[in-house]
Structure 1
Amino acid sequence: MPRIVAESPPKLPDSPVKRSRIGDLPMRVIYRFLAVGLAVILAAVAAVVGFVSSGSPDQPGEGKTGQIAAPSAAPPSPGPGSAEPSALATPATSAEPSASEPAASVSAQASPSGTSSASASPSESPAETAAPSSAPDGSEPAPDRSAVIAALADPRVPDLPRDKRLGRLSGKSGKSKRRVQDGKSGVSLVRLGKPWKVFGAAPFSTKQVLPKAKGAAHRAMLVSCPVPILVQKKAKDTALLAARWTLNHHPKGSKITWTASQSIKNGWLLAYRVKYKVKGKARSSMAAVAVTEIPGAKPAMLFATIPDVQSKYWRAINTAVSSLRLK
């Protein structure tokens, strides 16, 4: 009989090999994962670099952390050899600063000890070391002579004469022991005796007048006030502008003829005849302007005018000018 051989049961195949599912993913998803991963890596690198940079204070263009600029040192208090500008202001006829001022201001810087290293030498006067004070009321001198040039171009005002003292005028002096105090201008002056009397001051600070005279185009008066014009570097120039301004208180068409030009204590005096016409007839007045420097303020002005019909009182102008004093 044929040999029957039992065949072995067929081997079952092993379980199928597991495949990676990456190949089954769409490419756009793969690119998205790669982009996100790259962004994370770059962000991490940037953070590390920023941390390292912030910890180094010596990077170009960066200052060291924790440094704060110190405030400038306060100016030192004036030492025994220095003074406040207002305390050094003196009534000089010229307000021009001296050549020593720039050097004085430079040397006045604070020394390491905190005290002022500048002091006026014994040979220097306060007027030489102090700059002209600047006051809010316009007392600081004008920077040029443009106003003076304009005044001299006025046909009513002749060129200034050579210095000449005011002579003794004719008439009664009006002298008395009483005085008028001008608190606004910082001066005092004589209160003239009768027939002079104190009158309403406006627009001046003080005002004294004579009775009205027949044939006079204006009233004789003696007034004082701060100068109503632009202050000049020289008191003589200031007096010139003041004299021109007084023509406003004389008849229309008045012209000046100088009779005196002289320095007075702390200022300047100009005396002049004012010529005009009254009803076609030639008339004149004797007048004078005295300008006095006032420390820290505008100069004071004394103005007197007396028409020729009252010439017997002209000497009161001498009395008034000589009586002018600082308060």
Structure 2
Amino acid sequence: MLDGLGGTQGTRETGSTPTDATADAETSERPEATAQSPRRAPAPQVPAIKRSRIGDLQMRVIYRALAVGAAVLLVAVVAVVGLVTSGTPDQPGEERAGQIAAPSAAPPSPGPASTGPASPEPSAPASASASESPSASGSASPSGSVSPSASPSASGSPSASSSASSGSTPAPDRSAVVAALADPRVPEPPGDRRLGRLTGKADKSKRRLTDRRSGVSLVRLGKPWKVFGASPFSTRQVLPKVKGAAHRAMLVSCPVPILVQREAKDTALLAARWTLNHHPKGGTISWTASQPIKDGWLLAYRVKYESKGKARSSMAAVAVTERSGEKPAMLFVTIPDVQKKHWRDINTAVSSLRLK
């Protein structure tokens, strides 16, 4: 059938009706058009954070190393503490139990007596063994400051102090006495010589002080005497300070601060030498009395020294009273010459000593 345009039948069909090939071509071109259409820009991708296993491993190693170091340090500290606590009593700052040697104000002069072994003079126990050091001006400190000395005196060796560690055990020999007599400040005591009446007015006080540690009682002197701080003694009474006095007058009691001897006279001798620590430096002893008393011995003496270029002296006395199974008790009194009107109180003091 003609299309009326002079064309052929095949031509019309071809132009108006799509064939299967044309449909396929149109279908295949749509995806290309879609592919060529503008695309939305993809979102930027953030790279994933990678965790470092190596870093974690290093921190664990550090922690372990710190733990090991702390353990080693702890072991070292324990070892050092063990060594310190197991040290011997001879370490600085520690004291052996028992006696403490009284310091000697001056070394004894060399002589035949000092060639052999000597015994020390231990001072009193901690509360009564310290030596009161006189100042350069000579007056004792009102606070009674005293410092114990752990070094043995020149009168003996440390081995002898152990023989009297029990306090009341007498020394095995007289080596300490021999060494004391080698001291140029201490002459040989005289034979029995009774103490005379000293100058001054007697104090007739009836009041008494009890020294429980020494097991004795003694007079409590009236005014101007007054009770003062006892340390390092058991009791102490003093006179007011006087201008020109090289030291302070005092009356004290305590267990003997030296090595106990077999004879009460020898114990009194060592005690008198020890009292030089409570007199001005350079003092020397001149005996005035040496006599037995009930259960003990009395030594009275004058201590001569210089004060501000002038010759001065003090009257003093030591009385030692023995007690059964205990260290002997000691009474010590000293009064400078500028207060000599009170020297009679020395007679009163030594005659008042009684065992409790």
TM-score, normalized by length of structure 2? 0.54
- 1:107-129 deviation per Cα after TM superposition (whole angstroms, max 9, x unaligned): xxxxxxxxxxxxxxxxxxxxxxx
**Which letter does structure 1 place at the counterpart of 2:281?**
K
Q: Does 1:209 align with 2:238?
A: yes
Q: Which residue of 2 aligns with 1:192?
A: 221
Q: How does 1:1-327 map to 2 (within 5 A)?
A: 137-327=166-356
Q: In 1, distance between residues paired with 2:324 and 2:165?
A: 13
Specify whether residues 161 and 195 from structure 1 end up closer, same or farther in structure 2 by C-alpha distance, changes over 3 A only. Answer: same
Q: Is the 8 A contact 2:164 2:259 kept in 1?
A: no
Q: Matched residues, percent identical?
A: 82
- 1:177-218 deviation per Cα after TM superposition (whole angstroms, max 9, x unaligned): 110000010000000011000000011000000000110111
- 1:66-125 deviation per Cα after TM superposition (whole angstroms, max 9, x unaligned): xxxxxxxxxxxxxxxxxxxxxxxxxxxxxxxxxxxxxxxxxxxxxxxxxxxxxxxxxxxx
Q: In 1, distance between residues paired with 2:217 and 2:299?
A: 19
How many residues align structurally? Answer: 194
**Which letter does structure 2 place at the counterpart of 1:257?**
S
CA drift at 1:137: 3.6
**Which letter does structure 1 place at the counterpart of 2:286?**
T
Q: Is the 8 A contact 1:175 1:190 kept in 2?
A: no
Specify whether residues 215 and 293 from structure 1 end up closer, same or farther in structure 2 by C-alpha distance, changes over 3 A only. Answer: same
Q: Is the 8 A contact 2:211 2:254 kept in 1?
A: yes
Q: Is the 8 A contact 2:164 2:170 kept in 1?
A: no
**Which letter does structure 1 place at the counterpart of 2:186?**
V
TM-score, normalized by length of structure 1? 0.58
Q: In 1, distance between residues paired with 2:272 and 2:202?
A: 22
Q: In 2, distance between residues paired with 1:299 and 1:283?
A: 31
- 1:241-264 deviation per Cα after TM superposition (whole angstroms, max 9, x unaligned): 000000000000000000000000
SS in 2 for 1:305: strand
- 1:130-162 deviation per Cα after TM superposition (whole angstroms, max 9, x unaligned): xxxx99642110000000000000000011111
Q: In 1, distance between residues paired with 2:286 and 2:168?
A: 28
Q: In 2, distance between residues paired with 1:308 and 1:295?
A: 37
CA drift at 1:299: 0.1
**Which letter does structure 1 place at the counterpart of 2:249?**
A
Q: In 2, distance between residues paired with 1:150 and 1:136?
A: 20
RMSD: 1.2
Q: In 2, distance between residues paired with 1:135 and 1:186?
A: 19
* Regions of 4+ moved over 4 Å: none
Q: In 2, distance between residues paired with 1:229 and 1:315?
A: 27
**Which letter does structure 2 place at the counterpart of 1:171?**
G
Q: In 2, distance between residues paired with 1:175 and 1:137?
A: 38
